[in-house]
Structure 1
Amino acid sequence: MAIVDDLINPRGTKRTCVVAGRLLLVSFNSVIGSFVSPIRLTPLQLDTDSNHGDSVLRDALASGRASYCQVDVRDPSQVIKAVEGSSVVFYMEATDLPKHDFYDCYMIVVQGAKNVINACRECKVRQLIYNSSADIIFDGSRDICNRDESFPCHWKFADMLSDLKAQAESLVLYANNIGGLLTCALRPSNVFGPGDTQLVPFLVNLARSGWAKFIIGSGDNMSDFTYAENVTHAHICAAKALDSQMISVAGKAFFITNLEPMKFWEFVSLILEGLGYQRPSIKVPARIVCYALLVVKWMHEKLGSRKYNLDISARFFHLASCTRTFNCSAAQKYIGYSPVVSLEDGIRLTIESFSHLAKDSSFGRFLNFEGQSKAEKLLGSGKVSDICLWRDEKKTFTCFVALVLLFYWFLLSGKTFASSTANLLLLVTTILYGYANLPPKISSFNIPKISLSWFEISENSVQDTIMSIVYLWNSGLHTIRSLAQGEDWNKFFQVVLFLYVVKWILVESFAVAIGFALVFAFTAFFVYEQYESEIDGLTRMLFSLTKGLLTSYLPASMTSFLQNKGVLRKENGKVVNEAAGR
């Protein structure tokens, strides 16, 4: 145990306190310069680098100013031994919980809270401050906007851990003023900082797997974040307030944030960019992600797989798609809390502490992510590119639905092309005529009239269309001339492959081919843009595997002929495909 200089009781004497929790422990050292003993399930590991919190704690342990004991909170006798002789206990569960095992989590969180409470009573501890979470009032189905402590806990939770923490908080608050023990609970929101084992590592894993490119939902949802050092400061404020304002603080819970709500995806972007990863830029509807998670969860349940835990992914989905902001006026008023580290400084310090997870500077820090992708260049970087690459979800979805309807109207309805065109023109004419005869105002809704300019085609558009046709015609003539001269074998193989595909389409089914092309246009380019490097690498690997097969079955005379034409070349005594190499 160790004496904490900053915590002084009303009589002016120093008190000994116990801290349970690695993240909270390291932050205590950087705030108050004093040292405490953790209650932990896993051994304490101190970094050997220049981390300030670890270096101060290492010195304190070496000098005897602090003591450390590894305690299993499921064992009442170990907990009693750990808190004996202290006057204040700061309790926060371990972050490395076995989330796939409900029994173990329950024993650590809920039963562990019971054991800590009983140990505090038996050892005559005066104060117990529990580090809860703002997640306990969030059910994952609706936004929370600037809610204070009066917002009730509906006992519907987004994940198992929030459920267990709500039970533990209730036990701690219910134990207030029983046996002389004063209790309170703090509810920090989205804690981050050096030593974080959840949020930042999860974001880095997403970035490395390529999924961090996506923004779930609109990207406008707001969130409150709390730097770890501010959580520590709030605990110290709560301990002092339990002496000076016992009636207003004891038995109460308080929200703790950095008082600087910001867009969740802006926070993610700052963290990832600071570590050299790409800023999220592609918006995906939240419902699609939700359905995908449900499918994955169903598959895991059917397969009986317990290897992968989906709780973290589900929690991140709720954080990423919902607004969660909290009112900290009660903490400011009754425990005197205010952040000691701004959100900007907290993000900077967090990025510095996770420098070992940063992307290689030669690739990540200097790469221009605003450049055009290969898919965008292939599509011409115009309106077609924006639609096929889902730059605007509403516009893309509208175009897709319209093309599907036209596909059904002309190819799947069983009518001839002429009759389908006539029926479509008749339908459009009827709609336009009916719309033109509508009154200018129906009830309180004004009916805008269609201007004749909507149907006009500008001279520039006609010229551009004609120029495009001329360009295609001349390109075709140039291709035919190249084939006739027999000089470009690469183009020859491309034309042969194209004609073979056209022949296959005409022989099999034109409607099936058009349907396949429609789905391909709205999915293939989008997928290729997201996994460009992976697909290019796979393509190169397939070329390297097949080029030997393409040449091993060719006669020697054909091989010699293709070498003379530049289609094949020798490389280290082996014949390789020159066209593939290009």
Structure 2
Amino acid sequence: MEERLTELTPKTCVVLGGRGFLGKSLVHRLLRLGKWIVRVADSAHSLQLDSSSESDSLLSQAVASARASYHQVDLRDFSQIVRAIEGSSVVFYMDFGDLQRDDICNCYLIMVQGAKNVINACRECKVRRLIYNSSADVVFDGLHDINNGDETLRYPWKYMDSTSDFRAQAEALVLFANDIDGLLTCALRPSNVFGPGDTQLVSFFVNLAKSGWAKFIIGSGENMSDFTYAENVTHAHICAEEALDFQMASVAGKAFFITNLEPMKFWEFVSLILENLGYPRPSIKVPSRMAWYILLLVKWMHEKLGFRNYNHSVSAHYVQLASRSRTFNCTAAQKHIGYSPVVSLEEGVTLTIESLSHLTKESCHEKYIDCNEQSKVEKLLGSGEVADILLWRDEKKTFTYFLALFLLFHWFFLSGRTFISSTATILLLISVILFGFGIISSKIAGFTFQRMSSSCFEISETAVKDSITTLACLWNKGVRHLQALAHGEDWSNFLKVAASLYFLKFLSQSLSVVIGIALVYAFTAFFVYEQYESEIDGFAKVLFNSIKESMELLARNLPATASSFLRNYDRFHGNKETAVVKHQR
């Protein structure tokens, strides 16, 4: 009878990091089971609940009925941890959501020193069980693939990011504390956790897609990975708690890998998420070594320019995940803690996509199918025949124009003749063709030749007048500039004219190269930009912001005299332009 009453009495547990991504899921699952009094502990000052969230609604009801409570905890403060866990039988040690990964010192204090404080508090408060949420990252060095890895894998000598290093240290501390002062411990190592509310894995790639960079596949794209839906991780924690209570020898002091048991290609998983949100699938392969060098270059530039908002370790971590195989064997978890996934990978992906509906984007296919919507480059080219030719709307017509222009380019610039002799030769050839066309019969061998009317070569008087007026305006404008130069007062105008003439001199020396580049550019650049408009705009935005930040940083580091000179120069020219406008009025 006493055993039965003990089973019916709710047990008290503490979820450290209960407002984080996995912490919320675990709290929700514990409350649904109905046999727990749950203490939610996190770093926030108060329990801020979202009434539209199912899990927060359940927690709100549990707080009202005293089945749940909230405790503010700073893991660096031993006394706060003691107050939160005193009188509990189980502590679930989850991630804290507000961890700033770029602050290495603070990360160490929270993750490593915090783990020591939690262990000591559990021992002092006579807590029986401590389950630590670790990660599969603790056995990954970022350089070597892991294929069907099990718990015999050792910690690597060196980690590529400090977060994995600190997590491994915290895990080792928790496992080493097993069976000291009656405390039983174990650790779970989920791989690539995702799900609704995820602020790391899925959010990282969605942000990349929004900026246009998720089109690139790092590495071969064939690397396999294990993924774990968040609810399966929380289910594994409850399984571990029950197993610690009954099977101490096979579970206590051990670590277990947790996955969905459905390994798949890493980039196939990313494609599933992005494609269902309306973004294009990654398709352009970039060697992992090249991606790594680019990352190092970006890191160096940010360090030299003094930017503090760039987190290199996070980017490096995801480059490693994206280019290496990481699959794990969960046989030990299945055998010793009775774990098996409660949500399949397919269902998990569907639920995650539904939770990210606010991040969906109209697919590129639908965008280009809408014939009424013109692209930026088509508007720039005037939406007429020129746009149709340069954007390859009719491949035959565009190729014909390109071939004709290329032949003319070869005739005038690559044939070795002078420009005048090339012009005279082609005019002579045209004259012979026209004369021959005029004397031949209108019908030859059954073929009818249509005569060309002289009106085809006539120019209207209006067009001639407009052309002469334009030339006259340009001439008068040039004369005014010459008069201004003759007075010797406008130095800025003199510098502009000198630079323009020098540019024309340089252009005349390499005219054939410039025209050749312009010809190729006209028939390729506009077409490429229309196809990759969002990606190019995203890159241009990043580049513009980087230049702007660099200029601001440079301005801050200039000597006071130089900064004063630039301010006075800008003010002088601003006043001058205002005076010119007033004079024109």
The TM-score, its normalising length taken from structure 1, stands at: 0.65
Amino acid paired to 1:530: Y
The alignment partner of 1:176 has SS state of: coil
Q: Structure 2 counterpart of 1:18, which letter?
A: V
Distance in 1 separating the partners of 2:38 and 2:364: 39
**Residue 153 of structure 1 pairs with residue 151 of structure 2:** no
The answer as to whether partners of 1:297 and 1:310 remain within 8 angstroms in 2 is yes
Q: 2:48 aligns with which of 45, 48, 52?
A: 45
Question: Relative to structure 1, is the Cα distance of residues 153 and 210 closer, same or farther in structure 2, using a 3 angstrom cutoff?
Answer: same
Map of 1:578 onto structure 2: none
- Residue aligning to 1:81: 83
Measured in 1, the distance between the counterparts of 2:43 and 2:288 equals 37
Stretches of structure 2 lacking an aligned partner (at least 5 in a row): 379-387, 399-413, 417-451, 468-502, 541-585
Contact 2:43 2:74 in 1 (8 A): yes
Residues 279-302 of structure 1 deviation map (CA, whole Å, 9 limit, x = unaligned): 222222222221111101111222
- Spell out, residue by residue over 1:499-558, the C-alpha distance to the aligned partner (whole angstroms, 9 max, x if none): xx999877326568768988999998656643358669x9xxxxxxxxxxxxxxxxxxxx
> For residues 26-425 of structure 1, what are the structure 2 equivalents within 5 Å?
26-32=24-30, 33=32, 34=34, 36-43=38-45, 44-49=47-52, 51-359=53-361, 363-364=362-363, 367=366, 378=391
Of residues 72-81 and 240-249 in structure 1, the stretch that sits farther from structure 2 once superposed is 240-249
Q: CA deviation at 1:177?
A: 0.7
CA distances 1:6-35 after superposition (whole Å, capped 9, x unpaired): xx9997754211111222332235434145
Change (3 A) 1:29 1:71: closer
Contact 1:117 1:175 in 2 (8 A): yes
Shift in CA distance, 298/487, structure 1 to aligned 2, threshold 3 Å: farther
For residue 48 of structure 1, what is the amino acid of its counterpart? S
- Looking at structure 2, the residues matched to 487 and 220 of structure 1 have their Cα atoms a distance apart, in angstroms, of 66
Q: Which moved more, 1:332-341 or 1:136-145?
A: 136-145
Deviations 1:219-272 (A, max 9, x none): 221111111111111011111111222111111110000111111122112222
Report the structure, 1 or 2, having the larger helix content.
2
- The CA deviation string for residues 431-485 of structure 1, in whole angstroms up to 9 with x for no partner, is xxxxxxxxxxxxxxxxxxxxxxxxxxxxxxxxxxxxxxxxxxxxxx9xx968978
Cα distance in structure 2, aligned partners of 1:486 and 1:211:
55
SS in 2 for 1:81: helix
Whether the 8 Å CA contact 1:278–1:369 is kept in 2: the answer is no
The alignment of Structure 1 onto Structure 2 pairs a total of residues equal to 427
Instruction: Kindly indicate whether the alpha-carbon contact (under 8 Å) linking 1:528 and 1:535 is maintained by their aligned counterparts in 2.
Output: no
Q: Which amino acid in the other structure matches residue 283 of structure 1?
A: K
Is 2:220–2:287's contact at 8 Å kept on the other side of the alignment?
yes
* 1:18 aligns to 2:14 (yes or no): yes
Partner deviation per Cα, 1:118-147 (whole Å, 9 max, x = no partner): 000000001101000001111111211111
Structure 1, unpaired ranges of 5+:
1-7, 386-410, 418-476, 493-500, 539-582
- For the residue of structure 1 that corresponds to 2:298, the secondary structure is helix
Q: Which moved more, 1:105-114 or 1:153-162?
A: 153-162
Q: How many angstroms apart in 1 are the aligned matches of 2:292 and 2:524?
A: 21
Whether contact under 8 Å (1:93, 1:108) holds in the other structure is no
Instruction: Give the C-alpha shift of residue 64 in structure 1.
Output: 1.7
Query: Contact (CA 8 Å) 1:185, 1:252: kept in 2 or not?
Result: yes
Give SS of 1:350's match.
Answer: helix
CA distance in 1, matches of 2:5, 2:112: 30
Answer yes or no: is the 8 Å Cα contact 1:71–1:82 preserved in 2: yes
Q: How far is the alpha carbon of 1:42 from its aligned partner?
A: 2.7
Between the aligned partners of 2:5 and 2:315, the Cα distance in structure 1 is 44
Shift of residue 356 of structure 1?
2.6
CA contact (8 A) 2:23 2:94 kept: no
Query: How far has the Cα of 1:39 moved from its partner?
Result: 2.4
Residues 41 and 72, structure 1, Cα contact 8 Å, conserved in 2: yes
Q: CA distance change for structure 1 residues 487 and 103 in 2, over 3 Å: closer, same or farther?
A: farther
Deviates more, 1:248-257 or 1:297-306: 297-306
Give 3-state SS (helix, strand or coil) of 2:206's partner.
helix
Checking the alignment, whether the CA contact within 8 Å between 1:29 and 1:56 is kept in structure 2 is: no
Distance 1:329 1:381 in 2: 60
Q: CA deviation at 1:308?
A: 1.9
Q: Which moved more, 1:127-136 or 1:39-48?
A: 39-48
Distance 1:339 1:533, change over 3 A: closer
Change (3 A) 1:378 1:64: same
Counterparts of 1:468-479 in structure 2, within 5 Å, are none
Indicate the SS of the match to 1:47.
coil
- TM-score normalised according to structure 2 size: 0.65
Give the Cα separation in 2 of the matches to 1:172 and 1:294.
34
The residue number in structure 1 matching 2:433 is: none
Aligned to 2:475: none
> Which secondary structure does the structure 2 equivalent of 1:36 belong to?
strand
Whether contact under 8 Å (2:195, 2:351) holds in the other structure is: yes
Distance 1:148 1:116 in 2: 27
Q: State, as a whole percentage, how many aligned pairs show the same letter.
A: 58
Q: Is the 8 A contact 1:132 1:185 kept in 2?
A: yes
